[in-house]
A and B are shown apart, each in its own frame.
Chain A
């Protein structure tokens, strides 16, 4: 089986500064994977590498066997929530349709019947089937977040990548969000990228910690060692999904 995401010895540099170093990882089809790491740990850079927006200094990335530039059309990308201008005069359906643009041929790039159908399917999946004509400014925060996901879904991706999906979202909205992701996972591979360890669902089956290099351990285990090496200090941890499952106490001392 071809991996949904395959990275082998990937390094990315800005000038002489090494931001990503020797990262190797594989996410299989229908995995629910998470990349966690502190801010400034290179998450955004690695994402740009995966999306083909930054050249790799060395190594190889493939998406379903394709190089990033080509594999990009198989990826549904859900950017960070706070980068949006929700006062923009645009309706929900107009916003979602935009992810169809790369699929439309011709000089004028006008939306076709099938684009409208894909948009309606995406709206239906996030449970906002009737909201197509609403201006995005009239939606609640949780609805806006789901519309960003619907935009990614309308491109009919096989791999959904979510960048910091739970920042600025309250707890009930977060629960709603994870139940939506649970349903989507049956149809596609999902990768969540976040600095917020508590945002990781207990149902994640593959975790990696990123701080310039990638630390993996088993499948879905976060260990003290991983956190200490990634965050540079011991971290208290409450896992999402199982309420108040406090992971065992860290040792509170340096690794070496």
Chain B
């Protein structure tokens, strides 16, 4: 029960400093911060453009890549990168060709990705890996190699958004008008989908495939309740993401709870609180 006293007085401060000294804990904090930045920026686009289901399809397709990674003995997260990018391109392609309803396509890719992952893992000889941490995340087990990959992905996401910001906002707000102005709406939409694909990979280590959509949307949705422009919304979403992930990590460590689920519950609580507060203020 020693960890329960971690939140009172001098012992508490010392406990926090002690656990910060652990390498795995530092990795967890860095992974959490990187994830918060990515989901604050990309999650804001997802929320305002209503791409939550698309994001769900892309994230579940990642499971196929993780299975593939195990099968070929490469980093499962790298396998996930290929699969989320593939899913993003596929959804975008079928979508722009108007061959099928987006909803139907997304559902199919969602399920097929999961199924592929299970088949690949079943075909992998010998040791059966622990799939639980990929499905539900375990931020306390993020290896340094994954931190490097995550850092690189955040760098890519930040650069793309920085260069294309005004154009991405125009396409997200009113794509019809953007095409009237002669903007490459289809390419910009693909870039948005690819940004989601990269963010999903980042979030898998933190909260796992099943909970990715929640972390992608909760901080942004909370930020939206009290901001009135996209840059402000993104900044607020990053801040809320940081608070969510960091307090989730500490809570999960202190009370020995699964980290991914704890982070999502903190995010849900913040969102519910913000909704309630707005409701009270408006009535």
- Residue positions of A touching B, CB distance < 8 A: 51-53, 69, 72-73, 77, 79, 83-85, 88-91, 94-95, 98-99, 101-102, 104, 107-111, 135, 137, 151, 155
In the bound complex, CA of A151 to CA of B173 (Å): 13
> Which of B163, B179, B180 contacts A108, CB < 8 Å?
B163
> Which of A69, A88, A99, A107 contacts B163, CB < 8 Å?
A107
> Which of B172, B176, B179, B224 contacts A83, CB < 8 Å?
B176
- Residue positions of B touching A, CB distance < 8 A: 48, 162-163, 165-167, 169-170, 172-174, 176-183, 224, 227-230, 232-233
Residue in A closest to B179 when the chains form the complex, CB atoms: A53
Residue in A closest to B223 when the chains form the complex, CB atoms: A89
User: Which chain A residues border B180 with CB–CB below 8 Å?
Assistant: 51, 53, 72, 77, 79
Q: Is the CB of A101 within 8 A of B176?
A: no
User: Which chain B residues border A77 with CB–CB below 8 Å?
Assistant: 177, 180
Q: Is the CB of A98 within 8 A of B228?
A: no
The count of A-to-B residue pairs whose CB atoms sit within 8 angstroms is: 74
Residue in B closest to A109 when the chains form the complex, CB atoms: B166
Closest 9 pairs (CB-CB, A-B): A135-B228, A98-B170, A109-B166, A102-B181, A77-B180, A89-B233, A51-B180, A91-B229, A89-B228
Report the minimum CB–CB distance from B263 to chain A (whole Å).
25
> Which of B163, B173, B227 contacts A98, CB < 8 Å?
B173
Report the minimum CB–CB distance from B187 to chain A (whole Å).
14
Supply 20 A–B pairs (Cβ within 8 Å), ascending by A: A51-B180, A52-B182, A77-B177, A77-B180, A79-B174, A79-B176, A79-B180, A88-B172, A89-B48, A89-B224, A89-B228, A90-B230, A98-B174, A99-B181, A101-B166, A108-B163, A108-B165, A110-B166, A137-B228, A151-B177
In the bound complex, CA of A90 to CA of B232 (Å): 10
User: Which chain A residues border B229 with CB–CB below 8 Å?
Assistant: 89-91, 94, 135
User: Which chain B residues border A110 with CB–CB below 8 Å?
Assistant: 166
Report the minimum CB–CB distance from B233 to chain A (whole Å).
5
User: Which chain A residues border B170 with CB–CB below 8 Å?
Assistant: 98, 101
In the bound complex, CA of A135 to CA of B48 (Å): 14
Q: Is the CB of B176 within 8 A of A88?
A: no
User: Which chain A residues border B48 with CB–CB below 8 Å?
Assistant: 88-89
Residue in B closest to A136 when the chains form the complex, CB atoms: B228
Q: Is the CB of A88 within 8 A of B173?
A: yes
Report the minimum CB–CB distance from A78 to chain B (whole Å).
9
Report the minimum CB–CB distance from A50 to chain B (whole Å).
10
Report the minimum CB–CB distance from B83 to chain A (whole Å).
31
Which one of A73, A85, A98 has the greatest number of beta carbons of chain B within 10 Å?
A: A98
Residue in A closest to B181 when the chains form the complex, CB atoms: A102
In the bound complex, CA of A163 to CA of B223 (Å): 34
Report the minimum CB–CB distance from A3 to chain B (whole Å).
21
In the bound complex, CA of A109 to CA of B224 (Å): 25
Report the minimum CB–CB distance from A138 to chain B (whole Å).
8
In the bound complex, CA of A101 to CA of B181 (Å): 8
Report the minimum CB–CB distance from B200 to chain A (whole Å).
23
Instruction: Known contacts A79-B177, A90-B173, A102-B183; decide if A111 and B230 are in contact (CB<8 Å).
Output: no
Report the minimum CB–CB distance from A119 to chain B (whole Å).
13
> Which of B163, B181, B230 contacts A89, CB < 8 Å?
B230
Residue in A closest to B47 when the chains form the complex, CB atoms: A89
Report the minimum CB–CB distance from A48 to chain B (whole Å).
9
In the bound complex, CA of A85 to CA of B163 (Å): 25
Residue in B closest to A111 when the chains form the complex, CB atoms: B166
In the bound complex, CA of A180 to CA of B228 (Å): 28
Q: Is the CB of A101 within 8 A of B173?
A: no
In the bound complex, CA of A137 to CA of B232 (Å): 16
Report the minimum CB–CB distance from B220 to chain A (whole Å).
10
Q: Is the CB of A72 within 8 A of B182?
A: yes
Report the minimum CB–CB distance from B278 to chain A (whole Å).
13
Residue in B closest to A97 when the chains form the complex, CB atoms: B166
Q: Is the CB of A109 within 8 A of B233?
A: no
Instruction: Known contacts A51-B180, A83-B176, A102-B183; decide if A90 and B169 are in contact (CB<8 Å).
Output: yes
Q: Is the CB of B167 within 8 A of A94?
A: no
In the bound complex, CA of A72 to CA of B179 (Å): 11
Report the minimum CB–CB distance from A15 to chain B (whole Å).
13
In the bound complex, CA of A151 to CA of B178 (Å): 12
In the bound complex, CA of A107 to CA of B48 (Å): 25
In the bound complex, CA of A155 to CA of B177 (Å): 12
In the bound complex, CA of A51 to CA of B48 (Å): 27
User: Which chain A residues border B169 with CB–CB below 8 Å?
Assistant: 90, 94, 98
